[in-house]
A and B are shown apart, each in its own frame.
Chain A
Amino acid sequence: MTYALEIQGLTKTYGSGFEALKGIDLNVAKGDFFALLGPNGAGKSTTLGIVSSLVNKSSGKVRVFGHDIDTDLSAAKLNLGVVPQEFNFNQFEKVFDIVTTQAGYYGIPLRRARESAEKYLRKLGLWDKRDTPARMLSGGMKRRLMIARALVHEPGLLILDEPTAGVDIELRRSMWAFLEEMNRQGTTIILTTHYLEEAEALCRNIAIIDHGRILRHTSKRDLLQQLHLETFVLDISEPLASAPELEGFSTRLSGDGELEVDVEKSQSLNEVFVQLEAKGIRVLSMRTKANRLEELFIRMVAENSEQASEEGSTQKGEARQ
């Protein structure tokens, strides 16, 4: 099977001695929509930086559509489009020039470069701004400009590092729709994001990274099935003095007077409503308390942090001996 991205035993130790990656293995299938999740400093940007040649690796193998970045870097780069976290274009250049210049770096002749730039600037709603210097764009427009620039050579693999950071909800939704369309058309997409709702809505496979190690690398469905408990928030018609006791369920009142009920995977939500009905409590509306993936993510990272601190204490103890 040809993977869009294969990473084997990837390590990175910075000059300061900080070990950002401690042997990462990761495969992303062709056509996948993949999320790399992790807290700040987990190693996400370092991983993507190595794949896109912005960071030198310490050891390990990276292949993009089978092209090894050590031996066939040019072919690997031709298949790769990168949207970084920070704005990294010349703020004084015009939008159209930024995109056509990038196409030129990939060896695309000017006429084709212009056609491709127009295509993606139109798709991303920036065509009207083509003669505007980049510094005059809003934050959301700048993000879309970076996406257009990354796509101008039509790469098979698109990497986006926090693509919707600081973007309003409406624009975020339109960017999701655009990325989903790109994925449907065959572009493999890897994204890192802090909005776990984004990963849950868009991605089919997920890896969770923390302290330079991959904690989980699986499908979103498998990951979510690990959640045994989900909390529902019920908006009720009459205010309650205290949380009602429901047999088999844990309940409490939130600060807003809403009723929170924990429901295990094996339990039926109908049972909650039957018991509430019997107590004369009417439910007006209902929602889940938190993003499901977020719950799982927080739990996994917390467990890993505890483990990492335990390992650290053990190592210090051993060192003292």
Chain B
Amino acid sequence: MTASAIWTAYLTIVIREVRRFTRIWAQTLLPPAMTMTLYFIIFGNLIGSRIGEMGGFDYMSYIVPGLIMMSVITNSYANVVSSFFSMKFQRSIEELLVSPVPNWVILAGYVSGGMVRGLGTGVIVTLVSLAFTSLQIHHLGVMVVTLLLTSALFALGGFINAMLATKFDDISIVPTFVLTPLTYLGGVFYSIQLLPEFWQGVSMVNPILYMVNAFRYGILGVSDVNVGVALSMVTMFIVLLAVVALTMLKRGKGIRH
């Protein structure tokens, strides 16, 4: 395929993905807005007003970056895992497999589709947060890079999950039993400096803690971890997961007999 044909194929996959999640917007875009509004009201307003400051900021301002990141993580992952597994289930993945689209373009297309949904819901949650607090940006570059890298990483994770899944149960196990606990324990609602030393050490092995704190640094200028280390780790995991996903595609894991 020529470079322009590859570009067309890539755009086709991305547009198809965007068309899919916008067609079912009530299942994909509305729930994060609803859930985050409740978080802002309950944790930010009702409980937050009694908590006082955290990291030098009022509690509402402190949790906004974490909640935005939480929606980016869950939606980037959910988009790819459900879309790709549905294609496997309906066998419409065969449309792609018989076509000359290279594997890396298939992966790039799906990951980009997941990123668009993840970042889109991030924007929605940010807009919702503006109704409760004012938002200042401390470091735009760190904020944007963290968002892009995090959404890419979790879209890749969703892709691998979908390749390995053989039934619908398999695509809900990781989000429910891995992503949700790691996100809640990843410093979205608190600074790990509040924890005893032992649990601070345990928290440091949670990768989501690094992403939440890097993003919080981009907005508020405070972080429990070194931002450079956090972004380097995320980049390293992106490379690792991309290699795993491409190897699986080449072998046809779960998609070719």
Contact = CB atoms under 8 A, between A and B. Distances in A.
Interface of A: 14, 49, 52-56, 73-75, 77-78, 80, 82, 84, 86-92, 97, 101-102, 104-110, 149
Interface string B235-257: 00000000000000000100011
Nearest to B8: A107
Contact of A107 (B9, B94, B98): B9
Contacts of A110: 8
Contacts of B94: 54, 82, 84, 88
B95 interface: yes
By CB atoms of chain A within 10 A, which of B2, B87, B256 has the most? B256
Contacts of B86: 90
B1 A74 contact: yes
A74 B8 contact: no
Contact of A54 (B13, B92, B100, B257): B257
24 contacts: A53-B256, A54-B94, A54-B97, A56-B252, A56-B257, A74-B1, A75-B100, A77-B100, A86-B91, A88-B92, A88-B94, A88-B95, A90-B92, A97-B19, A101-B95, A104-B12, A105-B13, A106-B5, A107-B1, A107-B5, A107-B8, A108-B8, A109-B8, A149-B95
A116 to B, nearest CB: 13
A107 B90 contact: no
Nearest to B86: A90
B27 to A, nearest CB: 12
Interface in B89-106: 90-92, 94-102
A302 to B, nearest CB: 29
Q: How large is the interface on B (under 10, 10 to 19, 20 to 34, 35 or more residues)?
A: 20 to 34
Contacts of B204: none
A97 B11 CA distance: 14
4 tightest A-B contacts by CB?
A: A107-B5, A104-B12, A105-B99, A88-B91
Given A104-B12, A105-B95, 4 more contacts: A56-B257, A77-B98, A90-B87, A107-B8
Interface in B1-53: 1-2, 4-6, 8-9, 11-13, 15-16, 19, 23
Nearest to A91: B90
A101 B16 contact: yes
Given A74-B1, A108-B8, A55 B95 contact: no
Contacts of A53: 97-98, 256
Contacts of B23: 92
Nearest to A87: B91
A102 B9 CA distance: 9
Given A88-B95, A90-B87, A105 B12 contact: yes
Contacts of A14: 257
A180 B5 CA distance: 31
A90 B11 CA distance: 18
B10 to A, nearest CB: 9
B95 A89 contact: yes
Contacts of B2: 107
Contacts of A78: 1, 100
A253 B55 CA distance: 99
Nearest to A49: B257
Contacts of A108: 5, 8
B2 to A, nearest CB: 7
Contacts of A49: 257
Given A56-B256, A88-B90, A89-B92, A104 B100 contact: no
B99 A102 contact: yes
Contacts of A101: 12, 16, 95
A73 B101 CA distance: 10
A53 B212 CA distance: 42
Interface in B208-256: 252, 256
A105 B101 contact: yes
A108 B99 CA distance: 12
B100 A107 contact: yes
